[in-house]
Amino acid sequence: MTAAGQPIRVVVVDDHAIFRSGLKADLAPDIHVLAEAATVEEAIAAVAAHTPDVVLLDVHLPGGRGQGGREVISGCAGMLGQVKFLALSVSDAAEDVVSVIRAGARGYVTKSISGTEISDAVRRVAGGDAVFSPRLAGFVLDAFGTAEVAVEDELDKLSARELEVMRLIARGYSYKEVAKALFISIKTVETHVSAVLRKLQLSSRHELTRWAADRRLL
């Protein structure tokens, strides 16, 4: 975690050099790119060597056992406390997004995102919060169901407030707009999103399993 004012140190992992350089140019000046990597092995080595605050991680990567970003995260499992992963993908397939989140990524954004937005996302992830794109929020709603149901494990359902936050994010609201619409602070929105992320990562909920199986995630 970085104190305010200190630059955020990141490692960019993507197999396309053009995309890496474009992303580096787009990032805000307070975000320092320490290293780049193009394959699973390079990524794991770079993360181990630099211990960055945030890893911008492409979901589809060559190398390793062919599991791409997921494999990088599991390869750095011991550092998940210090290093945060932000998944970055052109893919909008549920299996890619959800599997990388369940592996431990703190957020997911699409590659079409603007430079300001991605810088915001990096800062947010570095600060320990989660970053949900509208599509990821849609997947969460799809997986957990949109209605409130009584289940035993708190991990297995979203609270009414979390549902509202997810819905607004799916509708294209920024965190600030969500906060305004629900009359809560941005910090509270972030807390809700982090709680949803935790549930998404830890829940073994029956519906989530079935949902994942339907989409061949398991």
Among 85, 108, 173, 175, interactor with another protein by CB under 8 A: 173
Instruction: Select the span of 27-35, 70-78, 119-127, 167-175 touching another protein (CB under 8 A).
Output: 167-175
Among 33, 141, 151, 155, interactor with another protein by CB under 8 A: 141
Among 82, 92, 185, 218, interactor with another protein by CB under 8 A: 92
Instruction: Select the span of 9-17, 34-42, 166-174, 199-207 touching another protein (CB under 8 A).
Output: 166-174
The answer to the question of residue 193 lying near another protein (CB under 8 A) is: no
In angstroms, the CA 110 to CA 36 distance is: 19
The answer to the question of residue 186 lying near another protein (CB under 8 A) is: no
> Which CA distances in Å does 153 have to 2, 32, 36, 137?
34, 41, 41, 21
Considering beta carbons, is residue 148 or 154 the nearer one to another protein?
148
Which structure tokens are listed for 70? 């997921």
Where does residue 32 rank: exposed (0-12), middle (13-18), buried (19+ CB within 10 A)? Answer: middle
In angstroms, the CA 18 to CA 112 distance is: 14
First-residue to last-residue Cα distance in the chain = 32
Among 24, 32, 50, 135, interactor with another protein by CB under 8 A: 135
